[in-house]
């Protein structure tokens, strides 16, 4: 049966990079991939057109699809809007409405881009970490939340960090399963020395480890984890953590590779539906200039083929094509270094299609 992909380019460079990913999907369609693509609005672009960053129609389209390809959301233009209608709410709404609780964020150093990292080559060469971030709970969604005015007239802001055992268990299960297909190590990151909720998190992960004893499990406080990521990142295989810690650590891990423009991500629910997007944001400063790196989005299509569309061979083809264009010396501005061939967003997309 024809599988459905909802295509949501979003804001800023989202439009340009998704256009290149569409070229790649079209090439695979010509080679027999049985998918249908339907576009929808999300983020600031959706707000401008409809008054909400997540229109009903988009949510419906997303729910009816096997997979969602998202570009990026946000931009200066919408920063002063009320938080309830900011572009980011479109993304958060999709995550929670579809129950996309498992966010997989790989940080891989491509050997061709070893100089792009700010860290010494011996610290990062061969780096291959998978961050498994809980995505639909924790402080991002906990109630109560808000800003209230106290009797003395002072304002007080508050958010709630809350996890149920079942939420911890299902994300830890994902981490153990992924580790089993990789380096067989999981590091669970918490702040169990201060926060009760993450002390419970640690207990639940330990409990689950009894049924996953083939995997080596360690625990680390988040402050130490941030330090270890920069000091000796290759000690990590799979890291599993809360929504907010994962938000922060995944940016840190991405930058170890020096090329956030190269990193894809997947957000999965219990039904295997997934949303796929580059790790980077909408980069409004370079939007519309045809200079953004489309490779993270193209690699997100590879993750989509692997995790939601059951087409691992096609996923391999995309990943090999990306390696080929890097081997050929093609570089967008963000990963450019002397002696390489600087190309635009669309030239990079065309080169990947040709390499396919
Ligand atoms: C991310 C982003 C989002 C988040 C924002 C845009 C809401 O930083 O996907 O990491 O905080 O989750
Ligand atoms: Mg983030």
Report the nearest-CA residue for atom 6 of ligand 1: 88
| Residue 260: pLDDT over 90 | no
- Tokens representing 291 are 């200079």
Start-end of CATH 3.40.718.10 domains in the chain: 1-101+269-356, 107-132+141-258
> How many Å apart are CA 311 and CA 322, to the nearest integer?
17
DSSP string, 58-97: HHHHHHTSSEEEEEE---GGGTTS-GGGSHHHHHHHHHHH
- Per CATH, the number for 107-132+141-258 is 3.40.718.10
- For ligand 1, atom 4, the nearest C-alpha belongs to 247
Instruction: Read off the pLDDT of residues 194-245 as tens digits, 9 standing for 90 and up.
Output: 999 999 999 999 999 999 999 999 999 999 999 999 999 999 999 999 999 9
pLDDT tens-digit readout, 304-354? 999 999 999 999 999 999 999 999 999 999 999 899 999 999 999 999 999
pLDDT averaged over the chain? 96
Per-residue HEC secondary structure of 100-123 comes to: CCEEEEEEECCHHHHHHCCCCHHH
Pocket of ligand 1 (CB under 6 A): 74, 88, 91-92, 247
Helix (H, G, I), strand (E, B) or coil at 98: coil
Which pLDDT band holds residue 8 (cuts at 50, 70, 90)? very high
pLDDT per residue as tens digits for the range 66-99: 999 999 999 999 999 999 999 999 999 999 999 9
CA angle at 310 for the pair 307 and 311, rounded to the nearest 5°: 105
Residue 24 is inside which H or E element, if any?
helix 14-30
Q: Can 191 be counted among the known catalytic residues?
A: yes
163 carries an active-site annotation: no
Confidence of residue 258 (pLDDT cuts 50, 70, 90): confident
The CATH architecture annotation of domain 1-101+269-356 reads 3-Layer(aba) Sandwich (3.40)
């Amino acid at each position: 049966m024809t599988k459905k992909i909802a295509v949501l380019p979003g804001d800023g460079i989202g439009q340009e990079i998704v256009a290149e990913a569409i070229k790649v999907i079209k090439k695979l369609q010509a080679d027999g991939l049985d998918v249908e693509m339907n576009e929808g609005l999300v983020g600031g672009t959706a707000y401008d057109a409809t008054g909400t960053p997540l229109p009903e129609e988009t949510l419906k389209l997303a729910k009816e699809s096997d997979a969602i390809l998202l570009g990026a959301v946000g931009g200066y233009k919408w920063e002063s809007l009320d938080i309830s209608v900011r572009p980011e709410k479109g993304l958060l709404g999709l995550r929670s409405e579809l129950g996309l609780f498992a966010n997989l964020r790989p940080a891989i150093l491509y050997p061709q881009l070893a100089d792009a990292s700010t860290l010494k080559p011996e610290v990062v060469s061969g780096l291959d970490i998978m961050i498994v971030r809980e995505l639909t709970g924790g402080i991002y969604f906990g109630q109560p939340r808000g800003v209230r005015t106290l009797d003395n007239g002072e304002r007080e802001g508050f958010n709630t960090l809350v996890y149920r055992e079942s939420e911890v268990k299902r994300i830890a299960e994902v981490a153990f399963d992924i580790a089993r297909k990789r380096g067989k190590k999981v590091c669970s990151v918490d702040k169990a020395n201060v926060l009760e909720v993450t002390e419970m998190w640690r207990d639940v992960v330990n409990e689950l480890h009894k049924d996953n004893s083939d995997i080596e499990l360690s625990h680390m406080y988040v402050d130490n984890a941030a330090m270890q990521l920069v000091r000796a990142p290759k000690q990590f295989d799979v890291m599993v953590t809360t929504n907010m810690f994962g938000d922060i650590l995944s940016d840190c891990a991405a930058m170890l590779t020096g090329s956030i423009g190269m990193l894809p991500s997947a957000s999965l629910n219990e039904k295997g539906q997934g949303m796929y997007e580059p790790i980077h944001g909408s980069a409004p400063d370079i939007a519309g200039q045809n200079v953004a790196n489309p490779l993270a989005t193209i690699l997100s299509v590879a993750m989509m083929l692997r995790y939601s569309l059951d087409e691992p061979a096609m996923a391999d083809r995309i990943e090999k094509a990306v390696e080929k264009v890097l081997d050929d010396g093609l570089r967008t501005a963000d990963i450019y270094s002397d002696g390489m061939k600087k190309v635009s967003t669309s030239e990079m997309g065309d080169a990947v299609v040709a390499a396919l």
